[in-house]
Amino acid sequence: MLYFTLASKAYARNLQYRGAHMVHNIASAMFGYMYACIWIGLGKDHVLGDYGTQGMVSYIAFTQSSLWISGFITNGLGIPQAVRTGLISLDLLRPVHLFTHLMAREWGQIAYQFLYKSLPIYLLYVVVFRLQFSGSWLTLIYVGVGLFGAAYLAICMNYLIGVSAMWTTESSWLHWGNHAMINLLAGFFIPLEWLPDWLERFAWLTPYPYLLYVPTRIFLGFGDVSLLWGTLFWCALMTSGCLLATQWLRRKVEVQGG
């Protein structure tokens, strides 16, 4: 119940800024439109693999919309800010685990972003690019599972980035580095099978493909559903990482503000 309250409060807080977020949606939609234009331009001179031009536009539309679920979540789950203000010491005193506490809050944020960012942006692309979905309800369920796992992985990754603020004042660079890796290794702009062989193999050794590429492939009807086992594996591994990191940070807490 506590976790649900934390999530619903985060959701309600975001509702206050719907107007401002709509401007952000325009910026985000512009990015996706631009990337789609690049593929449309390339599609005039080249055959775009199994996808075709329209398929690549659908690919970009889905990854751009999904970024608000597994890419653009709170920087470090707000831990760097808490370290700077000294609030982290209070958070560590609470009778609830830091990881689950921050995770519950972030789920509220993600739920909001799904409803007010991902869906409107995708619907806009459906109208602008005349996109069609030919999958079944079962496909949608698998996509939902893939996105849920992706969101959880994103929470874990951001938690680990946030925790690094205990030891460096430059954790925001890790946040941007993580975004750069999402762009490159999660298949945000280029499907992984088009990466050079060595980079594709490297990408599959990381959790990044499970953030965007796997759900997108399933959504487009190309994906192997068994890839979701990979999502599960990384979720388990990252959870262990987050719990260990929390244990480690509790040993010595130095705050910068207060």
Partner 1 sequence: MNAKSWFSLYRLLIRTSIRSRMQYKFNFVLASVLAALIQISEFLMVAIVLYKFGAIQGWSLYEIGYLFAVITLSKTLYRTFADEVHHLEKYLVGGELDQLLTRPLPVLLTLMPQSFRIMLGEVLQGGFLLCWSLGAMMSRGQVNWVSVPLTLLAICTGAVIMFSIGLATATIGFWTTRITELQNITEDAARTAAQYPLSLYPKWLSSLLLIVIPVGLVNYVPALYILRGELGPWVPGVVAVAAGLCLYGSLRFWQFGITKYQSTGS
Q: Measured in whole angstroms, how far is the alpha carbon of residue 184 from the centre of its chain?
A: 14
CB 154, min distance to partner 1, A: 18
The minimum distance between CB 113 and partner 1, in angstroms, equals: 14
Closest to partner 1 by CB, 87 or 199: 199
Question: Tokens representing 73?
Answer: 């979540």
Kindly tell me the burial class for residue 234, based on how many C-beta atoms sit within 10 Å of its own C-beta (0-12, 13-18, 19 or more).
Answer: buried
> Pick from 171, 148, 170: which is nearest to 159 by CA?
171
Helices (H), the chain: 2-15, 18-45, 52-70, 79-85, 87-93, 98-113, 119-129, 137-163, 171-185, 197-203, 213-219, 228-249
Give the distance, in angstroms, between the CA of residue 239 and the centroid of all CA atoms in the same chain. Answer: 16
Closest CB to partner 1 among 131 and 190? 190
Token pair, residue 215, equals 């759900």
Let me know: does 250 contact 92? Beta carbons within 8 Å: yes
Q: In this complex, which beta carbon is closest to partner 1, that of residue 23 or of residue 138?
A: 23
Closest approach, Cβ 141 to partner 1, in A, equals 32
**Minimum gap (Å) between residue 205 Cβ and partner 1:** 16
CB of 106 to partner 1, least distance (A): 20
- The 8-class DSSP code of residue 114 comes to I
Q: How far is the CB of 64 from partner 1 (least distance, A)?
A: 12
Q: Which residues bind partner 1 (CB under 8 A)?
A: 20, 23-24, 26-28, 30-31, 34, 37-38, 41-42, 44-46, 168-170, 173-174, 176-177, 179-181, 183-184, 189-190, 194-196, 199
Which one, 44 or 251, has the nearer CB to partner 1?
44
- Looking at beta carbons only, is 131 or 225 nearer to partner 1? 131
Contact 209, 203 (CB under 8 A): yes
Question: 24 vs 204, which CB is nearer to partner 1?
Answer: 24
